[in-house]
Structure 1
Amino acid sequence: MGDHEARGDDFEKKAEKKLSGWGLFGNKHEDAADLFDKAANSFKLAKNWNRAAAVYIKIANCHLKGDSKHEAASAYVEAANCYKKFSPQEAAQALNQAVNLFLELDIGEIYQQEQDLEKATDYLERAADLFDSEGQSSQSNTIKQKVAEISAQLEQYPKATEIFEAIARQSINNNLLKYSVRGILLNAGICQLCRGDPVAITNSLERYQPFAILQEIDPTFSGTREYKLLAPRDVFHLASKVNEYILQDLAAAMDEGDIAKFTDAIKEFDSMTRLDPWKTTLLLRAKNELKKKEDEDDLT
């Protein structure tokens, strides 16, 4: 362990020297972060968690100097993992720093490549696990919802649906969170629609009818616009009043292969409850899946 700690000291000194220099060539903050990372790994091998955590904080500061929020947040998560070995309070503080940075990120603008999105979900899931271990379910659910959104963006729809439904189940008994449940359930339903698999969608809707899972989670869900956007018409017992409902049924439109009805349902819902960019993107994907099937049918 002594050798590892000595190497850690050496790398840390080199990093500090790099930061104190002029940095005429290259980026001194990036170079210092690389050296600090080697120091942190050495301290971890020496099981000197205090030194390792402190160095990860320095790494985060280097990345913030370079306006690299994702890397800074990742360093805070690493620091939290080290702090957890000896100081839960400091672990929570580092984790809060990481989460704040992660939530500031505009996924659509910053993460252009799939591998970056995968990396983001990895760090976010680790952060959520740490919050869960500290009994901070509200913070954990906020992060998990971001994981679900990214997973859906990566077309990992079953994973996203599972996460959204789990969050809804946990939130319904929380007086502060229960009013967000209908939006979370809508997200879960949209993920199912994006799969574009008639069998999978039918199985899902049968599982929900009359939205059994959703009703179990939130008994008030059947009276919401979100429910009416997703639910098949035949679950509404007052068929004569169907035109009074705010929205047409997306699932029925997809089942019928009716693109016009699908589009009208989205427009009508959006006129009453503005769709955010994430929902808009996924609903467009679902519409494109419907269009593909229509084109395939035209060829047969």
Structure 2
Amino acid sequence: MGDQLVKAKEFEKKADKKLNGWCLFGSKYDDAAQLLGDAANSYKLAKSWDQAGKANVKRANCFLKSENKHDAANAYTEAAKNYKKVNTNEAASCLEQAVNIYCEIGRLSMAARYYKEIAEYYESDQNIKQAITYFEKAAEFFQSEEVSSSANQCKLKIAQYAAQLQQYEKAIKMYEEVAQYSLNNNLLKYGVKGHLLNAGICHLCKGDVVSITNALEKYQDLDPTFSGTRECKFLANIARTIDEEDVAQFTDVVKEFDSMTPLDTWKATLLLRVKEKLKAKELEDDDLT
């Protein structure tokens, strides 16, 4: 590793010398970029990720000086891979630089792909707000490029995290859009009831019985088969327990559904929020009487 660090520093010194000197033949920026690429690889072998990232950023700047935008974007993505090991924010910043270049040169599908990757960086770092922001950008770009499957993957992530942040309307919109798209795709039809269930749970979190009742009518119009599903009956029964302010009945309905179709952590968390609101309302009514 020590040898690789020595090599990396030598390559970087040579690159700096090229950049600060004159070049009668060829391009000093291309020559320096080559040396910085060698430096970045040596830093990488030495597991000096921060230094490798910096070398790749310098390399990207060299490519920009020589008007080689495609290679500049690639260098920024390499820098992002290096920084990902040590610094999520730097990694995201490098990928955003790459995205800006891809937008400039009309490579929107690449821009979409890297917006999604930025979102995943923030997701792994538990920075949910930033993850939502970049999943939204990715979804928009994928949609514009008609890569609907990738757009829908992003929308489902937006919905999941928006609901966690109690942004229920945004979550509902995303789940409904994905459900609508899936209805027209034979391979995805089986997932529609799950998307509508998730949207319905978000409606329940709003604590508005009229809202969930209207949503169920809308979903049955959207997909006539939905009314016969366990998911639809579950949402209708939950809405009834909320209307009747019956916590015990609410618990029984959830337990029965869970015994047949086990609830994942996301659904369980949201339904617990609904139950807590219902319990608070019940206590409030007891105090009034």
Same-fold status (TM-score > 0.5): yes
User: In structure 2, what residue type is equivalent to 1:148?
Assistant: A
Deviations 1:172-224 (CA, angstroms, capped at 9, x unpaired): 1111112111000000010011123xxxx23313423xx33102221100000
Amino acid at match of 1:86: I
CA separation of 1:17/1:298 partners in 2, compared to 1, >3 Å: closer, same or farther? Answer: farther
- RMSD of the alignment, in Å? 3.8
Identity of aligned residues (%): 42
Shift of 1:130: 1.7
- Give the counterpart of 2:217 among 212, 215, 225: 212
Residues of 1 paired with 2:148 and 2:262: CA distance? Answer: 28
- Report if aligned partners of 2:142, 2:151 keep a CA contact under 8 Å in 1: yes
1:157 maps onto 2:168 in alignment: yes
Q: Does 1:203 align with 2:191?
A: no
Q: Match of 1:174, SS?
A: coil
- Tell me, yes or no, if the aligned pair for 2:99 and 2:114 is still in contact at 8 Å: no
Ranges of 4+ aligned residues in structure 1 off by more than 4 Å: 11-24, 34-48, 67-78, 93-103
Residue 269 of structure 1 and its aligned partner are, at CA, apart by: 0.6
Cα shift at 1:73 = 6.7
Which entry has the higher C-alpha Rg, 1 or 2? 2
Q: Report the Cα distance in structure 1 between the residues aligned to 2:78 and 2:129, rounded to whole angstroms.
A: 25
Alignment partner for residue 263 of structure 1, among 240, 251, 270?
A: 251
Q: Is residue 171 of structure 2 the alignment partner of residue 138 of structure 1?
A: no
Alignment of 1:1-300 (within 5 A): 20=42, 28-30=48-50, 33=53, 49-64=69-84, 66=85, 72=91, 75-76=94-95, 79-86=98-105, 88=107, 92=109, 95-96=112-113, 99=116, 110-112=124-126, 116-196=127-207, 201-208=208-215, 211-231=216-236, 249-300=237-288
What one-letter code is carried by the residue in structure 2 that aligns with 1:259?
V
Pairwise CA distance, 1:139: 1.2
Cα offset, 1:52, TM superposition: 4.0
Q: Give the deviation of 1:78 after TM superposition.
A: 5.1
Deviations 1:74-117 (A, max 9, x none): 754653452243363xx5457547647866x896xx455xxx11
Q: TM-score, normalised by structure 1?
A: 0.71
Aligned residues: 260
Say whether the 8 Å CA contact 1:76–1:94 is kept in structure 2. Answer: no
Distance 2:285 2:224 in 1: 39
Which ranges of structure 2 fall in alignment gaps of 5 or more residues? Answer: 1-18, 20-28
Q: Secondary structure at the match of 2:104?
A: coil
CA–CA separation in structure 2 for the residues paired with 1:283 and 1:47: 55
CA contact (8 A) 1:73 1:99 kept: no
| CA spacing shift, 1:20–1:221, aligned 2, 3 Å | same
Change over 3 Å in CA distance of 1:192–1:46 after alignment to 2 = farther
Pick closer, same or farther for the CA change 1:123–1:98 going to 2, 3 Å. Answer: closer
Gaps of 5+ in 1: 1-5, 232-248
- What's the offset of the Cα at 1:31? 5.6
Contact 1:33 1:62 in 2 (8 A): yes
The verdict on how the C-alpha distance between 1:275 and 1:177 changes in structure 2, with shifts beyond 3 A counting, is same
What amino acid maps onto 1:292 in structure 2? A
